[in-house]
Structure 1
Amino acid sequence: MIRINWKKDLFSSKYRLQSHNQNVGEFDQHSFRNFSIGKLNDTKLKFEKKGFFNSETHIIDLNLNQPIGSIKFSNWGSGTTISLNGNNYRWNYDNFWHSKWSISQNQKRLIHYNSSTTSGLIESSVDSESLMLCGLFVHNYYILTLVIISTFIIIISTS
């Protein structure tokens, strides 16, 4: 079982990834840009969203400088599809509070995530750094969407 801990500051979009108390990568969610960058060991990915209302994100391997997959979002985490290197995976929240989520393939859980506000744990039964980074990206996509919708509702209700 691969275990990666992550930490971030309260209002930061940058995650520090650690294994056995050693820095092994980072994930930087660029909130108001159409891309994010994730690094884990030798893997370096760019997640590039196509358009503001488009529900698809392209996954680009920055070491090879070529696309390796895509992410198709559904409503509120109910079955987002990750296509990576020719394989399809399912991303889902595992609890009401959205503090636990997982990636599975053919009904078998491969990666499990557990988070608090500023830290979390990734437990993976597969050695796929790209897939682990995809799971962080999808969770952050939904969190950012929730923040934008909440802000919009507050602005509308106060005007």
Structure 2
Amino acid sequence: MERILNWRKGLFDSNYQVFEGTYLKFSINFTSLKNSAIATTQKGIYLLRSDGYSNPETKILNSNHELLATIRYDWLAFKARVTFANGENFDWSYQNSWLSRWSLNNHTDRQIIYNSSTSNGLIHGNTDDDMLFFIGLFIREYYSRILYAMVLIVIFMSFIRNVFY
């Protein structure tokens, strides 16, 4: 069963809306300065809470605060691993050098491929699990925020260097 979803977000915000046809399937709303979010689907509300800097991870909790999955990040390789409470693992990675295509898959029977332009994109998947769909978008936004922060640091350091030399 292949599903094709459309997603969009504002140009300068981090809130995603995902549609199947014309129907809103779910949304993800990020907090301003933290890499945490609330995902609202037709099946429930989920909290994605990120912790740590040297060994970062995100915990996915349902509305009863039960741990459903954990995301661990590999900053150097721009990859992530999602481990569900039932032991199932998914790998997330970029598929091109423009960072506009990425995938989430378990290397056996479930795979989701994401494509993006500036503020919208398509999702192709062979599963009906909305949680997998929003996890892939969450990880993408997580890495986007890190890249923006690195660019700002480089600009700031360049500015400081020019001021004092």
TM-score, normalised with respect to structure 2: 0.87
Q: What residue is the counterpart of 1:81 in the other structure?
A: 81
Give the secondary structure class of the aligned counterpart of 1:112.
Answer: strand
Give the secondary structure class of the aligned counterpart of 2:148.
Answer: helix
Give the secondary structure class of the aligned counterpart of 1:10.
Answer: coil
Q: What residue is the counterpart of 1:114 in the other structure?
A: 115
Distance 1:27 1:53 in 2: 25
- Cα shift at 1:29: 2.1
- Structure 1 residue runs of 5 or longer lacking an equivalent are none
CA contact (8 A) 2:6 2:19 kept: yes
The structure having more radius of gyration, on CA atoms, is 2
Runs of 4+ aligned residues of structure 1 deviating over 4 Å after TM superposition are none
Q: What residue is the counterpart of 2:163 in the other structure?
A: none
- Cα shift at 1:78: 4.0
Q: Mark the CA change 1:108 to 1:31 in structure 2 (over 3 Å): closer, same or farther.
A: farther
- Cα shift at 1:108: 5.7
- Structure 2 residue runs of 5 or longer lacking an equivalent are 161-165
The root-mean-square deviation of aligned C-alpha atoms, in Å, is 1.7
Matched, 1:65 2:65: yes
Moved more, 101-110 or 3-12: 101-110
Identity %: 28
Matched, 1:143 2:144: yes
Q: Mark the CA change 1:26 to 1:77 in structure 2 (over 3 Å): closer, same or farther.
A: farther
Give the secondary structure class of the aligned counterpart of 2:128.
Answer: coil
CA contact (8 A) 2:57 2:73 kept: yes
Q: What residue is the counterpart of 1:25 in the other structure?
A: 26
- Cα shift at 1:128: 1.2
TM-score, normalised with respect to structure 1: 0.90
Structure with bigger strand share is 1
Distance 1:117 1:41 in 2: 27
Distance 2:154 2:21 in 1: 42
